[in-house]
Amino acid sequence: MQALASASFVVIGAGGLGCPALLALAAAGARHAIVIDHDRVEAHNLQRQVLYDVGDVGARKAEVAARRLPALHVEPRVQALAPADAPAFVAALPSTGVVVLECTDQPALKFALNDACLARGVPLVVGAALGLRGQALAVVAGRACYRCVYEAPPPDDEVPRCDQAGVLGSGVGQVGMLMAHLALRLCAGDHDVAGQLWALDLLDARVRCLAPAVRAGCPAHGRAAPRTTPD
Ligand SMILES: [Zn+2]
């Protein structure tokens, strides 16, 4: 598929979500990715960050990911992307042929990238997993976005930390794979997958696909650019 061969997948965060997403993209035949992560591999995360092994502890995740996935031609960027950086970061991406995958555990960054990608017409997939629940949402103009569903980031002191709520390897694995699938569908020009909130409940072994409406007054849509489809 020409669109896949020429597409660039921008994976922000190479941890529990980013690792399975990158593996799925590589397995599907994607040929280029940009991986953004400033963290180093840590031993206590290895059970869910499946691109790395004990010999990688202390190395930069983005650089190890690039070595592990040669067919994906990963461009590693060792940088921390702050929410305030999102507009300039997205503006610097090519206007076509790019899909962004938000794979961090930072709610404020998910909202900032939602707004910036909608404003520039860059397709985005946002995911999260904590405890026994996970979600994934593909975002394009004209469909319900991350801000339509969640409105605003919670206060920092109300965000449960991974070491408090727990992260199940199988949970982030499934959400990461689902994020890659949604990104591949967007790459193929299938925007019907956008605006659907995939919600996983691992305790009940249940997956729901919800169809939230575009929220009246959602500020992200007021700034939205026309959709773009990867070439
Ligand atoms: Zn919205």
Question: Which pLDDT value is given to residue 226?
Answer: 52
Residues 32-48: what's their mean pLDDT? 94
pLDDT of 217 strictly over 50: yes
Tokens of 168: 């199940």
Q: Which residue has the tokens 């399975």?
A: 20
Reply yes or no on whether 209 is catalytic.
no
**Phi and psi for 48 in degrees, rounded to 5?**
-115, -10
Question: Which pLDDT value is given to residue 101?
Answer: 98
pLDDT of 59 strictly over 70: yes
Q: Other CB atoms closer than 10 Å to residue 107's CB: what's the count?
A: 20
Q: Rounded to an integer, what distance in angstroms lies between the CA atom of residue 168 and that of residue 30?
A: 27
Catalytic residue among 162, 187, 209, 218: 162
Cα(207) to centroid(ligand 1), Å? 23
Cα(30) to centroid(ligand 1), Å? 29
Residues 138-148: what's their mean pLDDT? 96
Cα(197) to centroid(ligand 1), Å? 13
pLDDT of 12 strictly over 60: yes
Question: Which pLDDT value is given to residue 70?
Answer: 96
- pTM for the whole structure: 0.92
Q: How many CA atoms within 13 Å lie on the side-chain side of 36?
A: 17
Cα(228) to centroid(ligand 1), Å? 17
Q: What is the pLDDT of residues 168-200, one digit of tens each?
A: 788 899 999 999 999 999 999 999 999 999 999
Residues 45-59: what's their mean pLDDT? 93
Cβ 183 vs Cβ 18: under 8 Å:
no
Using CA atoms, how far residue 183 sits from 171, 188, 213, in Å, is: 18, 9, 21
User: In the chain, what percentage of residues exceed pLDDT 70?
Assistant: 91
Q: How many CA atoms within 13 Å lie on the side-chain side of 109?
A: 19
Q: Which residue has the tokens 């919670």?
A: 154
Residue 36 pairs in a beta bridge with 12, 77
What pLDDT band is residue 1 in, cutting at 50, 70 and 90? low
What pLDDT band is residue 231 in, cutting at 50, 70 and 90? very low
Residues 31-54: what's their mean pLDDT? 94
Decide which of 48 and 11 is more confident.
Answer: 11
Residue 130 pairs in a beta bridge with 133
Residues 32-61: what's their mean pLDDT? 95
Question: Which pLDDT value is given to residue 179?
Answer: 98
